[in-house]
Amino acid sequence: MAEFDLIIRSGTVFDGTGRPGFPADVGIKGDRIEAIGNLAGAVAAREIDAAGLYVAPGFIDIHTHSDWAMFGNPRMESKIRQGITTEIAGNCGTSLAPLIGTARESAARTLARIGRDPDWTTLAEYFERIEANGIAQNYATFIGHGTLRQAVMGFEMRPPTPDELDQMKRLLAEGMEQGALGLATGLIYPPGCYADTEEVIELARVMAPYDGLYATHMRNEADRLLESVAEAIRIGEEAGVPVQISHHKAVGRRNWGRVNDSLELIEKARSRGVRVDCDQYPYIASSTNLGVVLPRWVFEGGNDKLLARLADPEVRRRVAEYENAENLSRGAGWDGILIADSPWAPEYEGRTIAQIADADRQDPLTVVFDLLLTNNGYVGAIFFGMCEDDVRTVMRYPHTVIGSDSSARAPYGLMGFGKPHPRTYGTFPRVLGRYVREEKVLTWEEAIAKMTSKTARKLRLRGRGELRPGYFADVVVFDPNSVIDRATFTDPHQYPAGIEYVVVNGVVVIDRGEHTGVLPGRVLRPGA
Ligand code: ZN
Ligand code: CU
């Protein structure tokens, strides 16, 4: 009689490849799936009854900002409870390695929030810290382009010298050697936005021998969306690397519908043999630092200079003038920008800029300056800038995968701060419950493939993303009738419904909807 450590019995199995569900048992031994089929004659140390439930590969969140979340709470609550078994960080230009120069100072400022020092420099050392700390999910990361630039040239608003470019290349190559997934840019954020296309191409070339991936928060997702997609494609094409367009969307009412054109650009590139994909979170609001509404020169030279400028009436006047020429509220309007995280003045969280301006009898721009100043340059904000039709269009596109664009949080403890975007707790269950079950935008098997095998292939995560004998036992068991997000914009710290069991490397982390506290996650080093 066959013996397993764990059998998940009588569920409907979706293997992750896009194949429809079929009735089967899943037998697990150690950290691997050993058998899928009728295991009626087999025994196991532990059995899970999955009758009436769906069994799928653990979800892979391709776009996260959980770079330091495990040090605040290794249980990774908001993520593992969505069924996410692998977390991908280092996105939008910022990673927690290598930490040199200004990059170290920025990391220290971030980590101060949880009372932790960045006591590492290289990616290899950072990975060791994570392993020593423990983590509930598997974890892999990109190297951030902004981080490389900070390491070598701080917040200088200029092109690198040949020597500086060489240093960045060397640091990136070292990161790839130590297991990074590739390079991620944030071309709207300082200092990444100070780079021209050629600089990024030069860096991306470094990854080609490692088959690294170029992920990008593009230069513009609003009026210059199409030029930005063209830039991303050009970078991939000239550097000879695959491209991942992060959180694809069209921002601002006058740009709604343009995702049809951007997806066509992607299709054209694909037909020429350029490997381009995108990812998406299922919401009509985005979230980032409130500072993105200000012109880039305000950030030149680093945080101290930023704070001095924020306090300078002359700078405020110049920006106010600039606002006449460009719409600083990024197509959301001041009533469409909600404060999510204001560490030094939490009373503003959950209110819009327009509401605060009204109550304080200030103009909206003054509110922005004051909030940023009070909070040492960082204020988390939510921008209602997209439309539902575009969300569906991007979701249907076969080369779109799902990524939450969020950091692991918890409703308690060190990671319980702020009113984060509900995608933090809801992304994957929302796609399943709302867009599959309720609106039928995708079938179950299509949605699951966008959360598993398609993502694993893109990231070169070997042995993950499918339920298949010999693969790692990363598994989620959920109830198709009840799975749904529960986090809202005003009350975001809420776990989703319907995620019953989550298994990571053969170990049960979520058991009947509750966290067992075990930390079986591993650092994955696909590039090494
Ligand atoms: Zn981004
Ligand atoms: Cu991001």
Q: What is the DSSP string of 318-345?
A: HHHHHHHHS-TTTTS-GGGEEEEE-TT-
Where does the chain hold its CATH 3.20.20.140 domain(s)? 57-284+386-510
Q: Which ligand is located closest to the Cα atom of residue 91?
A: 2
Which two tokens mark 16? 């992750």
299-311, pLDDT tens digit by residue? 999 999 999 999 9
Ligand 2 centroid to residue 376 C-alpha, Å = 21
Ligand 2 centroid to residue 217 C-alpha, Å = 7
Ligand 1 centroid to residue 69 C-alpha, Å = 17
Q: Which ligand is located closest to the Cα atom of residue 245?
A: 1
388-446, pLDDT tens digit by residue? 999 999 999 999 999 999 999 999 999 999 999 999 999 999 999 999 999 999 999 99
What's the CATH number for 57-284+386-510? Answer: 3.20.20.140
Ligand 1 centroid to residue 91 C-alpha, Å = 7
Q: Is 21 helix (H, G, I), strand (E, B) or coil?
A: coil
Ligand 1 centroid to residue 65 C-alpha, Å = 9
CA distance linking residue 316 with residue 312, whole number of Å: 6
Ligand 2 centroid to residue 320 C-alpha, Å = 28
478-494: burial string, b at 16+ Cβ within 10 Å, e else:
bbbeebbbbbebeebbb
What is the reported pLDDT for 528? 65
CA distance linking residue 101 with residue 147, whole number of Å: 10
Name the burial class of residue 474, with classes exposed (0-12), middle (13-18) and buried (19+) by CB atoms within 10 angstroms of its CB. buried
Do residues 286 and 360 lie in contact, with contact meaning Cβ atoms separated by under 8 Å? no
Q: What residue type is assigned to position 127 of the chain?
A: F
Ligand 1 centroid to residue 515 C-alpha, Å = 29
Ligand 1 centroid to residue 459 C-alpha, Å = 18
Percent of the chain whose pLDDT exceeds 90: 96
Ligand 1 centroid to residue 317 C-alpha, Å = 29
CA distance linking residue 508 with residue 501, whole number of Å: 7
* Helix intervals (H) in 284-410: 303-311, 313-325, 353-360, 364-374, 388-396
Ligand 1 centroid to residue 382 C-alpha, Å = 13
Ligand 2 centroid to residue 289 C-alpha, Å = 11
CA distance linking residue 383 with residue 42, whole number of Å: 53
Question: Residue 220's CB: how many other CB atoms inside 10 A?
Answer: 17
Ligand 1 centroid to residue 44 C-alpha, Å = 44
pTM here is 0.97
Ligand 1 centroid to residue 358 C-alpha, Å = 30
Q: Which ligand is located closest to the Cα atom of residue 405?
A: 2
Ligand 2 centroid to residue 64 C-alpha, Å = 6
Cis, peptide link before residue 74, omega less than 30° from 0? no
Q: What residue type is assigned to position 124 of the chain?
A: A
Ligand 1 centroid to residue 421 C-alpha, Å = 13
Cβ-Cβ contacts under 8 Å for 20 (sequence gap 6 or more): 14, 443, 444, 445
Q: Is 285 helix (H, G, I), strand (E, B) or coil?
A: strand
Ligand 2 centroid to residue 197 C-alpha, Å = 20
**Residues 511, 517, 518, 521: is their CA dihedral positive or negative?**
positive
pLDDT in 10s for each residue of the chain, 528 residues: 789 999 999 999 999 999 999 999 999 999 999 999 999 999 999 999 999 999 999 999 999 999 999 999 999 999 999 999 999 999 999 999 999 999 999 999 999 999 999 999 999 999 999 999 999 999 999 999 999 999 999 999 999 999 999 999 999 999 999 999 999 999 999 999 999 999 999 999 999 999 999 999 999 999 999 999 999 999 999 999 999 999 999 999 999 999 999 999 999 999 999 999 999 999 999 999 999 999 989 999 999 999 999 999 999 999 988 766 556 777 788 999 999 999 999 999 999 999 999 999 999 999 999 999 999 999 999 999 999 999 999 999 999 999 999 999 999 999 999 999 999 999 999 999 999 999 999 999 999 999 999 999 999 999 999 999 999 999 999 999 999 999 999 999 999 999 999 999 999 999 999 999 999 999 999 866
Q: Is 36 helix (H, G, I), strand (E, B) or coil?
A: strand
Query: From residue 211, how far is each of 63, 156, 319, 466, 468 by CA, in Å?
Result: 19, 30, 43, 21, 25
Ligand 2 centroid to residue 402 C-alpha, Å = 13
Q: Which ligand is located closest to the Cα atom of residue 90?
A: 2
Which two tokens mark 174? 């070292």
Q: Which ligand is located closest to the Cα atom of residue 403?
A: 2
